[in-house]
Structure 1
Amino acid sequence: MAELRSGNRLAALDGLRLLAALMVVFYHYVALARPWGHDTSTIFPTGHRAAQYGWLGVEVFFLISGFVICMSVWGRTLGDFAVSRLSRLFPAYWAGILLTTVVVKTWPEVDSFPGWDRVINNLSMLQSGDDSPDIDPVYWTLFVELKFYLIMVAVVWFGVTYRNCLILCGVWTVAAALAPGLNTPLLTSFAMPQYAPFFIAGIAFYLMRRHRPNAILWALVALQLLLAQRYIDHRMATSLGKAVAAALPSWPARLVIIAAFALVGAIALGLLDRIRWKWLTTAGVLTYPLYLLHMNIGMTLIHHFRGRVPAPVLVASVTVLMLVAAWLVHRVVERPLGKWLRTTMRRGIDDVRRHVAPRRGRTGQPATATAVAAAPVPAAPRTARFDPEPPPNREPEPEPEPVK
């Protein structure tokens, strides 16, 4: 059997990431009427009902993201964190936008070509900031992730430690809990009350993984699990429509959230470290491009072939095709372009550091411009060294003495 973790990569976390992505795909392909032209309960009498809860894959993604981003910022400088996130997010995202645009322009069956102005606006990933429409509806989650990254920037700025992460979790919990009642749009926008419990719980679980569990962390996770229940009815209504959501029980959604917390908790405690399937590592890196590509492109294929191929075969075939497309985007676009972006941005950051903090001569005075330009750049300390982007759930080395 393959090694447990290749380069300290958690295979179980990759498996959960794949499961979350497939939940969202299942929801879009089986629960929604859009690609089929009518209600799918007659097409998938059994699968339809289960697929109606597949939107919860997004919540699972946010829970995983809290764990993974807390892991990835440990020991990194602010510049390194920015470089790693930008080079990770944008290559596959740009490819997704261009491919989706080509498909909906060529075959406007489930969506119409939005216009080049909207395509260009979407390339920034900031379109949700001014309420501009997304090229693909699934992109709304990326703006939520960007706001989470901005929150984590504060931790990186002050230093990523157990204490600072715990302070963030406490302050963010209070802000998210009070924001709806305070009716302050800016606070609500950044506190993200609907999704904060998942990010915060993910951070707490990683602190357990790194520093051992304790009563404070368990209490924090339990509180987030309770707070996550507040918006289930609302999420069901926005995902399925009020009429459909009113006819569905909410307990399956609550059960899925509890199961997700339990699985990430098991990963945090090391209970799933025995999972050694190497293919999960590959599956883990495909989930992001799969998420970006699957909706409008996959729905267009389903709509186009719905009367020619049996529905279950069509859904399975399109899902496999989207996985293949995700692998191609990862290998042909994400890896080489991501590497180029990391190298380019890193060089730019090094240039800024060299000019902002010039070397001093023996007298303690700043060196001349000529001397500074000619002087060799000192090697960065080991903790600030920039290496090629590791897989997103790679564990850093543990500290010798955990902070109590």
Structure 2
Amino acid sequence: MPKSIPPPRSSGAESQRQGPAGPRRPRLRALDGMRLVAALMVVAFHWTGVNRYPTVWGGTPEKLMPGLQRFSQYGFLGVQLFFLISGFVICMSCWGRTPRQYFTSRVVRLFPAYWVAILLTGLVVNYAATTRPQRSHLSMTDFLSNMTMLQQPLGVSEVDPVYWTLWVELRFYLIFAVVVALGLTYRRVLSFCGIWMILSVVARGSDNKLLELFVMSEYAPYFIAGVVMYLIYRFGANWLLLGSVGFSFLVAQHQLLGTGASFKYGVMHPLSWEVMTLFCLAAFGVVLAAAMGAFDRVQWKWLTTAGALTYPVYLLHQEIGFALIRWARDQGVGVWPTLGAVLAAVLLLSWIVHRYAERPLSALMRRMLDAPGLALPKSDPPVRSRAALDERPAVLAEGAATR
């Protein structure tokens, strides 16, 4: 680790306005585009890569669209790309923020669109044509428990199985909150990444379920690499940071053995470790390239809109998409027109949710969470007067005697 912390680098193309995070560089719109690619990969996997639910298409994708399925069966790796970008973006957005600001930013980012998606998806699961025989109707307690986003630790059925990644994200936010509380600095963040990596490797071979729950061995290398890539973006590359990214990749490629075994269940045949590793290497490479400024000139404004739609698309595509696909197939629509029409419908629905639900609800929640009354007091509130405290037991005793 360097003896002195490198200053935030600047760029001739960037605005030189100063803020709590230092000089502001151009918005990384390329990351928004990468998020959309990751979301569409996951959509492709669920719609055209999974063979376990033949009732959706009236046959398996492997037989109906073999050319596409050869590629889309690896679409689940979009989640790994998501986690890489998440590590980068969370570190970037929280630099210079207080713990309260960090908490507020995560709540208003995650919950508004999620609550709307829970409502829409729950209606489809319970009242639309059943898309999968394994899918059971949701009870009211299942629905209400899902609103917390803690359905996995509560042992409750998820409204949409794709929501499993949200529990992973929540745990990342929780452990990263430790560094936010201490104050983000180059040394602290890099030390945090090193300690987390060591714990994740140790936990993998231990029987400590609590440790494994928090360090998330299978996904930790992606979050860690994303965080380190933000340090590269902010302070510039050095061999320590580049070595940390490389080490994260080496750990990640090994963890892909378990990831491939997990998704074999849906694809229903073995998956190639070589293919998964090549994609993982490409994902690391493209995010690292963004961190090193390779895409600073990519400033297409439509990418910001695409990035904003990513979260609603992810939340809405699976169960609602399955229902739409089955309905279209029941009407005799061909495979490719069905894919195009359902994708357009989900993108439109996602835009509606973002524009008319997520944005206004996020603004309302931010105002509520920023209200002065919600701030934790720096000291205990004043104790009520001694006379009031002395009178209360007598009043309670008198009330009990009259019952």
- Output the TM-score relative to the length of structure 1: 0.84
The separation in 2 between residues aligned to 1:112 and 1:314, in whole angstroms, is 25
Q: Give distance in 2, aligned partners of 1:4 and 1:44.
A: 46
1:81 — aligned with what?
Answer: 102
Identity %: 43
Mapped contact 1:233–1:245 kept (Cα < 8 A): no
Output one character per residue of 1:39-85: Cα deviation in whole Å (capped at 9) or x when no partner. Answer: 21121020011010000000100000000000011010000000110
Q: Cα–Cα, structure 1 residues 295 and 348, in superposed 2: closer, same or farther, change >3 Å?
A: farther
Mean Cα displacement is larger for which, 339-348 or 136-145? Answer: 339-348
Query: Within 1, Cα distance between the matches of 2:266 and 2:149?
Result: 29
* 8 Å Cα contact 2:233/2:293 also seen in 1: yes
Write the letter of the residue equivalent to 2:312: P
> Please, which moves more after superposition, 45-54 or 301-310?
301-310
Is the CA contact 1:52–1:240 (under 8 Å) kept in the aligned structure 2? no
The equivalent of 1:260 in structure 2 is 283
How is 1:49-88 mapped onto 2 (pairs within 5 angstroms)?
49-88=70-109
Are residue 224 (structure 1) and residue 248 (structure 2) matched?
yes
Q: Which runs of 5+ in 2 are unaligned?
A: 1-12, 16-23, 386-403
Q: C-alpha offsets along residues 278-335 of structure 1, whole Å, 9 cap, x if unaligned?
A: 1111000000011000000001111122241111111121111111111111111111
Distance 1:7 1:141 in 2: 30
* 1:41 equivalenced with 2:62 (yes/no): yes
Q: 1:128 to 1:226 in 2, by over 3 A?
A: same
SS of corresponding position for 1:55:
helix
Match for 2:317: what amino acid?
H
CA apart distance, 1:349: 5.6
Which amino acid in structure 1 is aligned with residue 147 of structure 2?
L
The structure-2 alpha-carbon separation of the partners of 1:349 and 1:74, relative to structure 1 and needing over 3 Å to count, comes to farther
1:117 alignment partner, one of 141, 151, 171: 141
Contact 1:4/1:277 (CA < 8 Å) preserved in 2?
no
In the aligned structure 2, how far is the partner of 1:74 from the partner of 1:122? 30
Q: Is residue 158 of structure 1 aligned with residue 158 of structure 2?
A: no
Q: For residues 160-199 of structure 1, what are the structure 2 equivalents within 5 Å?
A: 160-199=184-223
Q: Which residue of 1 aligns with 2:172?
A: 148
Q: RMSD between aligned alpha carbons? A: 2.2
1:291 pairs, out of 291, 314, 333, with 314
Q: Do the aligned residues in 1 keep the contact of 2:50 with 2:267 (CA within 8 Å)?
A: no
**Cα displacement string for residues 110-167 of structure 1 (whole angstroms, at most 9, x for unaligned residues):** 2342111100000000111122221100100001000000011100111111111001
**Which of 1 and 2 has greater Rg?**
2
SS at 1:182's partner residue?
Answer: coil
Is 1:4–1:274's contact at 8 Å kept on the other side of the alignment? no
Q: Answer yes or no: is the 8 Å Cα contact 1:4–1:275 preserved in 2.
A: no
Question: Is this contact kept in 2: 1:237–1:244, CA < 8 A?
Answer: no
Could you state the TM-score of these two structures normalised by the residue count of structure 2?
0.84
The whole-number CA distance in structure 1 between the counterparts of 2:127 and 2:266 is 33
Matching residue of 1:306:
329
Work out whether residues 62 and 69 of structure 2, in 8 Å CA contact, stay in contact via their aligned partners in 1: yes
**Residue identity opposite 1:272 in structure 2:** F
Alignment match, 1:388: none
Match of residue 330 from structure 1: 354
Tell me by how many angstroms 1:237 deviates.
Answer: 2.2
Residue type of the alignment partner of 1:251: E
